Amino acid sequence: MTGLLVDAPAGNSRLLGRAPDLPLPHLGAQALIALVEQAGLTGRGGAGFPTARKLASVAGRSPVVVGNAMEGEPLSTKDAVLLSRAPGLVVDGLSLLGVALGAQRVLLATGPEVPSGAAREAARGSRVEVLDLAGGFVAGQESALVNQVTGRAGVPSDPLVPVYHRGVGGRPTLVLNAESLAHLALVARYGAAWFRSLGTPSDPGTFLASVSGSVPRTVDRPGVLEVPRGTPLRAVLSAARTDLDRVAGVLVGGYHGAWVPAARLDVLLTTSDLARFGASPGAGVVHVLDRDTCPLALAASVAGYLAGQGARQCGPCVNGLPRMAETLRRLSVPGADPALVGEVARLQGLLHGRGACAHPDGTVRFVASTMRAFADHVETHLDGACDAPAR
């Protein structure tokens, strides 16, 4: 399913509707940065960094510009949908930056789950080079992506030298998510006020949400929806035809995200409202936990997946993530040793802040949120019961 909760001039969805009815304007670096700053666009790939500041960090330095459609997050499908439905907007965003920033090269990096055919077609006659790259959960991390494009192993680098200083081929490099590029292509045409006409004053615009459920029956129409920032989570679940009576919690932001408890579905999808739960809109993942799915079994399985997806470079991650996954697995067995709860907490502290990239911290965020949001369920396990069958 693809769908929308928005109404906008370029069709009834901004990003996935009709092609724009205005040509792409030519903008200089300063005009573009000012426009994006006024619009208040933030990155749609996960970190949510202000896009204007990223543009300013490489302006006038003959950078390499990389569109990021690696989509290594298993619960996210929005970049694949965007590149199938509106590849022209993503290519436009890259072309716009190529001219404005005086880019040396302009690349679009697609992961193995993202079909690149339509983008290649859209890029014909432009300077945009479309690359099909190897995947994995961390392959889309900025420095890992830069390394793979440069011909090295696609794993993260030490963050002491950021990619905006030295990236692809040693050039200052700007990496922007594919959806952020599509928003740029529209902001350049329709302006900052148009962008801000949806969303909230402090978190403007729309975003693509990938909605899914832990079992098929919970969400009747899973898929990608375009949603204004500030929309209640409940409205997004309803639009995807979720059986709200079955919701035990909602994972927002993906495997590095956090849970919104079932009693708090009225939370608004903004950066500040989600921060109360340790979550953020991230790359737009909304994953519904069915009340028959054991949250600890799910967490153990996610932690096991994340442990296997590490780049195998940093000691704390190589040793700590498998230990965390194994501890959660033991805890997910009814009648588990109560000491395992303390061990999970100890491992959270041991992993946090130790590693070249955000993989250990993101995993800790998810695990900490699981232990917080499902504390009652943990107690049930320690008492020897589990009211949810294994996944």
Strand 64-69, strand 173-177: pairing = parallel
Nearer to other proteins, 213 or 320 (CB): 320
C-alpha distances in Å from residue 156, one per residue of 22, 141, 166:
39, 7, 14
Q: Minimum distance from CB of 343 to other proteins (Å)? A: 12
User: Which has the closest alpha carbon to 101: 157, 184, 39?
Assistant: 184
For the CA atoms of 181, 182, 184, 185, what is the dihedral angle to 10 degrees? Answer: 120
Q: Minimum distance from CB of 310 to other proteins (Å)? A: 11
Nearer to other proteins, 338 or 353 (CB): 353
What does the binding site for other proteins look like in residue numbers (CB under 8 A)?
A: 155-158, 160, 313-317, 319-320, 349-350, 352-356
162: its two tokens: 């950021």
Q: Minimum distance from CB of 137 to other proteins (Å)? A: 17
Nearer to other proteins, 124 or 312 (CB): 312
C-alpha distances in Å from residue 159, one per residue of 148, 187, 365:
16, 31, 20
Q: Minimum distance from CB of 3 to other proteins (Å)? A: 41
**DSSP secondary structure letter of residue 356:** S
DSSP for 18-75, please give it. SPPSSPPPP--HHHHHHHHHHHT-B-SSSS--BHHHHHHHHTTS--EEEEEE----TT
Coil/strand/helix, residue 299 = helix
How far, in Å, CA of 283 to CA of 254, rounded? 7
Nearer to other proteins, 196 or 354 (CB): 354
Q: Minimum distance from CB of 139 to other proteins (Å)? A: 16
Nearer to other proteins, 247 or 340 (CB): 340
Cβ proximity of 391 and 293 under 8 Å: yes
Q: Minimum distance from CB of 49 to other proteins (Å)? A: 18
Nearer to other proteins, 252 or 314 (CB): 314
Q: Minimum distance from CB of 317 to other proteins (Å)? A: 8
Nearer to other proteins, 96 or 325 (CB): 325
Q: Which helix (H) or strand (E) holds 83?
A: helix 78-85
